[in-house]
């Protein structure tokens, strides 16, 4: 029996094995992190997804799964697809502003070149 069970094993009320797939990514001091992915994906699915990945990519996979799970808890209809929509709107807005500013610069440069021509007349 490991007295310092990881947050996942504590949540699942089981002993934390030495080779626990959750233990490196779910420290006991952050129980909410596991509760969130467990609620959305289920412990079995998270374990399966991690086991299919090489060790060196698992920490990042856990972070992205936690992020997506938290988004889904916060917004049960759109999850982090809601964030993607917001960002796409922001890109559209910035691109429109850029196009407008580029049009303004074209007008300013035309005026500038016309003024220079009139300097020589």
Cα–Cα distance between 51 and 22 in angstroms, integer?
10
Size of the site for a copy of itself (CB under 8 A): 46
- Minimal distance in Å, beta carbon 2 to a copy of itself? 28
7 CB contacts (<8 Å, ≥6 apart)? Answer: 22, 26, 27, 28, 29, 30, 31, 33, 34
| Contact flag: residue 12 with a copy of itself (CB under 8 A) | no
Rounded-to-integer distance, Cα 41 and Cα 33, Å: 12
Is-contact 58 44, C-beta < 8 A?
no
Tell which positions 16-75 bind a copy of itself, by CB under 8 A: 40-42, 44-45, 49, 52-53, 57, 60-61, 63-65, 67-68, 72
Per rule CB under 8 A, is residue 83 in the interface with a copy of itself?
Answer: yes
| Interface stretch with a copy of itself, choices 1-9, 17-25, 26-34, 87-95 (CB under 8 A) | 87-95
Question: How many whole angstroms separate alpha carbon 4 and alpha carbon 118?
Answer: 83
Task: Collapse the DSSP code of 16 into the 3-class scheme (helix H, G, I; strand E, B; otherwise coil) and give the result.
Answer: coil
Contact residues for a copy of itself, defined by CB under 8 A: 40-42, 44-45, 49, 52-53, 57, 60-61, 63-65, 67-68, 72, 76-84, 87-88, 90-91, 94-95, 97-98, 101-102, 104-105, 108-109, 111-112, 115-116, 118-119
């Amino acid at each position: 029996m490991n007295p310092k069970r990881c947050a996942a094993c504590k949540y699942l009320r089981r002993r934390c094995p030495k080779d626990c797939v959750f233990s490196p990514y779910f420290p006991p001091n952050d129980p909410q992190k596991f509760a969130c992915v467990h609620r959305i994906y289920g412990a079995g699915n998270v374990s399966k997804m991690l086991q299919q990945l090489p060790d060196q990519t698992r920490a990042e996979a856990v972070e992205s799964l936690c992020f997506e799970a938290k988004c889904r808890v916060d917004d049960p209809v759109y999850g982090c697809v809601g964030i993607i929509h917001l960002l796409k709107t922001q890109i559209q807005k910035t691109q429109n502003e850029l196009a407008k500013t580029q049009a303004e610069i074209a007008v300013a440069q035309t005026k500038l070149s016309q003024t220079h021509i009139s300097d020589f007349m």
